[in-house]
Chain A
Amino acid sequence: MSTTLHTPHSTDHLDVLESHALFILREVVAECERPVLLFSGGKDSAVLLHLAAKAFAPQQLPFPVLHIDTGQNFAEVLDFRDRTVDAVGARLIVAKVQDSINEGKVVDPGPLGSRNRLQTVTLLDAITENKFDAAFGGARRDEDKARAKERILSFRDAFGQWDPRQQRPELWQLYQGKVNPGEHVRAFPLSDWTELDVWQYIGREKMDLPSIYFAHERDVVLRDGMWLAVGEFVEPGPKEEVVRQTVRFRTVGDANCTGAVLSRADTIESIIDEVAIANVSERGATRGDDKFSETAMEDRKREGYF
C-alpha cells in the first residue's frame, strides 16, 4: 500500500465509471463459483485487467485470465499479453482456435479468411471444459448497436447463446449472476465507457499498452479500403502495392483483418486528441469482420461471441 495520503478529490465521470467497474468485478466474483477474465491484449481488456487488479488489491486476482488465440495475432500484442499477465501475477489460460480446427470442430478459412467467428467455438469449449460460470469481457456499449442493447451481466444458456428478447431485468446495481449448471453469464464492467473514456483512463493511470496503438512506420497494403500490415498473415497480392506509412491501430484484432489508420499520434495525449475529433467509429475504421451485414455483431453475439 502506498504511504502517501491522497487528499480527497472531486469525483469526475472517470471516477464514477471506475468505481462502478470495481463494484461489478467484486459482485460477480462473490456471486459466481468460477469466474474468468477474457483478455485479448487490446486496450479494453488491458483496462479491464487493470481494474480487476485494483478491485482486489492488495490480494492476487481471484480468477484466471483466458486468451482465445486465433493464431493470427500481432507479435507486439502477444508480447504485451505475457508481460501484463506477469505483472499482475495472474494465471493465464490460452485456448487456441487452431486446436478447434485440428479437432474438426470448425473449418480452416485459409490464410486470407477471418478466424474471428471461429473464436466463438473455442471460447465456448474453454468455458465448458473449465466449468466457468462467469466470463468478464471488455466490451463497451458504444462499440456497436447490438452491444448497446446488452445487460451488464448477460445471461448465456447451456448452448452459450444470447437471446436479446429474453434478457433478465437488471435493476439498480443489483447484479445477479446465479445460473444453473452448464449456463453462464458474461459480465461487462466497461459497458458504460466510451472509446474516449478508455483513452482518458489509460492516460490518467499511466497504463502500459501494446506498441501498435502508437504511431510507427510500417509496410502496409490497401485492401478493401483498409491499410493492412504486411507480414506473416498478410502477403501482398500481385496487383497490391506495398507502401511505407506512419500508422497506428485503433483496435487490436487479427493481423489479417484489422486495419491501421494513418496517424502521427505517438503519445496517449495525442491519441486522446485524435479520438476526440474522429468522424469514423473504431470498428468502422478498422474491422473487416463487422462490414458484412447489418446485424453482423448481433448474429455473432447470439452464437456466443464475446
Chain B
Amino acid sequence: MELATKDLLRLATIGSVDDGKSTLIGRLLVDTRQLFDDQLDAVVSASEKRGVGDLDLSFITDGLRAEREQGITIDVAYRYATTPTRKFIIADCPGHVQYTRNMATGASTADLALVVLDVASGLKEQTRRHLCIAALLGVRSIIVAVNKMDTVSWSEISFQSVVDQIETVSRELGFTSKVLIPVSALLGDNVVESSARTPWYVGPTVLEALEASEAGSWEVARGARLPVQWVLRQPGGGRTYAGMVSGEAFHVGDRVTLLPANVETTIKAINFGGESRLEAVVGLAADLDLADELDAGRGDLIASAPLPTITKEMEATICWFGDKPLSVNGQRLRLKHTTKSTPVRVRDIKGVIDIASLTITDASSLSTNEIGLATLITSDALVVDDYREDRVTGSFVLVDEVTNATVAAGMVGHASFL
C-alpha cells in the first residue's frame, strides 16, 4: 500500500512522570535548532525566574503556567520539527495517571511512540500502562530512550537490564519495531549527537532512529472506505459524497457498496476541492460521484470489498476517562463512530485489563483510566471493521449525553495479547 503520510511522521512521547519526556523533546528541538532565538530566550528567562537553573528544557513544551509552577506536564503539547527528509509532528504527552486521557489523545494519532524511562528506576507500572495503551491504539513501532544514563555512570549493565525488561513487555504487546538507545536528555548524549561516553553502544541516536523509522504503515488494509461526511450538490442536479478515504485507495470505475443500505454501484468520478482526480488515496478528503442515484447521506459508508460488518452489537476495548465508573445501566451515553452518532448502552462488562500481568480480570465496572472489554448495543446499526484492520472504521468515542464531554475511547474487537 502506498503510504499517504510518507514524509510526515507523527510521534508521541510516552512513559512515567519525571522520567524526562519533556526534557528529551526540549533537547531534541534545541540541538536540531528548531527553536527561534526569542523562544529560547523566553525559556531561559522563565527558568531563571522560577529558580530552576539556566535552561529548563522541559519549559519548551510545558507552556502552561500550572505546568511550569509544578514542573509537570498536564496536557499534550504539539511541536513540529523538520529535517531534510521529514516533517515530524511531536505530541509531548503527560506522564501522570490522572492525565491518561490526555496521553491517549496524543497517542491516538501517533505512528510511533518515543518511550522515555529512567535507567535507575526501570520499567514502572505507569510506563507499562502507557505501552499497553499505545499498543491498543495500534502503535507498532517504538523508540525507547533509556534516559538519565549520566546518573548511573554510563553503565552498560544498567542499560542492559532495562533493555531486558523492555524486550519482555514489547514481545507481549506485539510491537514490530523497536530501537533502544542509552541517552542523557539533560546533557544531550545520543539524542542528536553520538556520545563518546557510551563507547559500548553502536546504534543510532534518537534523531537518527526517528529519521530512519518506517512507522506509519498499517500492514493490514482490507478494502477502501469513505465515511460520508457531507453531501455536495453539483451544478446540473447531481450529488457527490464527501469524506476522508481510509484503508485503501478508490479509483474511478471501482465497484463499491453503499452501507448499511447494502446497494452496489460504481464510482463514476472522483473530485478534490472542485477538481477531478482518477484516484483517491488514503487520507484524501475527496468527494465521490456514484453511477446510480442513491439515497445516501452523512453517516453512511462507501466501501470496496472485502466489506465491513453491519451490526448493532459489538465487543469492544474501552479506555474509560469518565469521573464516575462505567457500568451496565449507568450514565446515558452517545457513541460517535466515523461520521455517525447513535445512542448506546453497555450490555455487559467482560473484564478489566490488569496492567501488571496484561491479562483480563473480572470486573462489573470500569473506573477512571481503566481499560476493559465490554459488549455494547447501539440504537442505529454501525458499519465497522476490527480496529486492527482499519483505524478509522474500527474506532469510536463515547460521549456523555448530559455534559457532551468525551468520556471514553473505544476500539472494535480486542488486541491479540488479551
State the A residues within 8 Å of B (CB).
1-8, 10-13, 15-20, 22-23, 26-27, 29-30, 54-59, 141-142, 144-146, 148-149, 151, 164-165, 167-174, 176, 178-180, 191-192, 194, 196, 278-281, 284-285, 294-295, 298
Contact = CB atoms under 8 A, between A and B. Distances in A.
Nearest to B397: A174
B279 interface: yes
A17 B10 CA distance: 12
Contact of A149 (B5, B8, B64, B339): B64
B4 A149 contact: no
A4 B278 CA distance: 11
B65 A16 contact: no
B75 A8 contact: no
Contacts of B82: 194, 196
A58 B235 CA distance: 8
A23 B229 contact: yes
B276 A1 contact: yes
Nearest to B62: A145
Contacts of B271: 1
A148 B63 contact: yes
Given A11-B283, A146-B64, 20 more contacts: A2-B275, A3-B276, A6-B278, A11-B4, A15-B284, A23-B229, A23-B243, A23-B285, A27-B229, A30-B298, A54-B274, A148-B63, A148-B78, A149-B75, A164-B75, A169-B321, A169-B409, A171-B406, A172-B392, A281-B38
A243 to B, nearest CB: 24
A86 to B, nearest CB: 18
A298 B64 contact: yes
A117 to B, nearest CB: 17
Contacts of B76: 149
Nearest to A278: B36
- Interface of chain B, main secondary structure: mixed
B98 to A, nearest CB: 11
B80 interface: yes
A18 to B, nearest CB: 8
Contact of B232 (A56, A142, A174): A56
B19 to A, nearest CB: 20
Nearest to A146: B63
B285 A7 contact: no
Interface string B97-113: 00001101100110000
A13 B7 contact: yes
Contacts of B168: none
Contacts of A174: 336-337, 395-397
